[in-house]
Amino acid sequence: MSTSTIQFGQLPALLLRAPDGAEATVTLYGAHVVSWKPAAAAGAAATERMFMSALSALDGSRAIRGGVPVIFPQFAERGEGMRHGFARTSTWRLLDSGEQDGAAFAVLGLNQGDLSPQVSNAWAYAFELALRVSVHGAELAMTFEVRNTGTHPFPFAAALHTYHRVDDVEAVRIDGVQAETLAITDKLDQVFEHIGGAIGFDNGADKLLLQQTGFTDAVVWNPGAADAAALADMEDEEYRNFVCIEPAALGPLTLEPGGVWTGTYRISPALA
pLDDT over 90 at 229, yes or no: yes
Could you give the 3-state DSSP secondary structure of residue 121? helix
Closest CA to 70 of 86, 56, 88, 85: 88
What secondary structure, in 3-state letters, does 137-167 show? CCEEEEEEEEEECCCCCEEEEEEECCEEECC
pLDDT tens profile 15-39: 999 999 999 999 999 999 999 999 9
pLDDT tens profile 44-86: 788 999 999 999 999 999 999 999 999 999 998 777 778 889 9
pLDDT tens profile 140-151: 999 999 999 999
The span from the CA of 64 to the CA of 75, in Å, is 16
pLDDT value of position 77? 78
pLDDT value of position 122? 87
pLDDT value of position 189? 96
pLDDT tens profile 155-193: 999 999 999 999 999 999 999 999 999 999 999 999 999
Quickly count: other Cβ atoms within 10 Å of residue 53's Cβ: 20
The span from the CA of 97 to the CA of 107, in Å, is 6
pTM score: 0.96
pLDDT value of position 271? 77
- Kindly report the CATH number that applies to the domain delimited by 3-269: 2.70.98.10
Alpha-helical (H) ranges within 22-100 are: none
Tell me the β-bridge partners of 219.
191, 246
pLDDT value of position 272? 58
The rounded percent of the chain whose pLDDT value lies above 90 is 88
User: What are the backbone angles phi and psi of residue 21, rounded to the nearest 5°?
Assistant: 100, -10
Edge-first strand order for the sheet with 139-148 is 93-100, 103-111, 127-136, 139-148, 260-269, 207-213, 199-202, 173-175, 182-183
pLDDT averaged over every residue in the chain: 95
Q: Is the preceding peptide bond at 252 cis, omega within 30 degrees of 0?
A: yes
pLDDT-derived band at 1 (thresholds 50, 70, 90) equals low
User: What are the backbone angles phi and psi of residue 84, rounded to the nearest 5°?
Assistant: 65, 10
pLDDT value of position 162? 98
